[in-house]
Amino acid sequence: MRGFGVHSEVGKLRTVMVCRPSLAHQRLTPANCHDLLFDDVLWVHEAQKDHFDFVLKMQERGVEVLELHDLLGQALANKQARDFVLDRRITPNVLGSQIAEAMRPWLDEMPPTQLAAFMIGGIAISDLPEVKAKSLMLSALPETDFVIPPIPNTLFQRDPSCWIYGGVTCNPMFWPARRAETLIQRAIYKSDLPRRRFPDLVGRFRPSVRQCLDGGRRYHADRQPHGPDRHGRAYDLSGRRPGGAGAVPYAAQNFRLFFTTWFGQPDDAVVTFFRQTALPE
């Protein structure tokens, strides 16, 4: 079995994890999209067509495409993985004791594919079974309010986990709307999926404002030496070469930007960066 790993920013892509637009994106509205870190609602049908087309193009080029909903559904078929997720998402501290007690048996018996859809797409009051807790909630709240909010940013799979050479990290996200994504990734990587063995996690973190990480802020340095004329060449986007630098300074005021927003590697010996972003005036 081929081992997993990422050792280069410009090597051939062989396996990739994606997340199709689905229930989480159908639940975006003008009222909640900003809280869920979207600028606007999506035309979900068109987004699904574009996503399918992109996946098909990768598969035609020999790329193995793993889908997040499918992987999570496989993981949740295992009781230990299901308990791992539900013990952390369905808690009295977050939902209240009556709602948590009513939801847990319902979710324990739910088919894994449906449970995976709800863990990513969220659970609205209207989705709950007909129990007393649902009636109490409907007496005070609209049926479209969320008991468990959706996590539509699972579209961006580079962030909640990333591979660093031969290991993988599950990353604590800065924004509260994205922190449940880390739990989903951990459930997948901790599970013994059929015919697939993932390595131990490189790092385990407790999400907090002071300790956060996402895949868009890491970069793989090529550890293989190049010849004297090919090592460390860096160009800004005007085509100028600032010198044989092994590292690029990062302006402090831009600390929230993704590293790959302003820094890229188009070839094995060339990097590009936006001078205005990378270098303070």
How many Å separate Cα 183 from the centre of its chain?
10
**Domains, the chain:** 1-220 (1.10.3930.10), 226-278 (no CATH)
- Residue 8, Cβ density class (10 Å: 0-12 exposed, 13-18 middle, ≥19 buried): middle
DSSP label at 251? -
| Secondary structure class of 208 (helix, strand, coil) | coil
Cβ contacts of residue 244 below 8 Å, gap of 6+? 231, 232, 233, 234
| pLDDT tens digit sequence for 115-163 | 999 999 999 999 988 888 888 888 888 899 999 999 999 999 888 888 8
Q: Is the pLDDT of residue 30 over 80?
A: yes
Structure tokens that stand for 118 in this block: 């709800």
Give strand pairing partners of 17.
Answer: 66
Q: Which pTM value belongs to this model?
A: 0.76
Confidence of residue 76 (pLDDT cuts 50, 70, 90): very high
CB 39 within 8 A of CB 33: yes
| pLDDT tens digit sequence for 86-108 | 999 999 988 888 889 989 999 99
The strands making up 270-273's β-sheet, listed across from edge to edge, are 233-236, 270-273, 263-267
The rounded percent of the chain whose pLDDT value lies above 90 is: 44
pLDDT of residue 167: 79
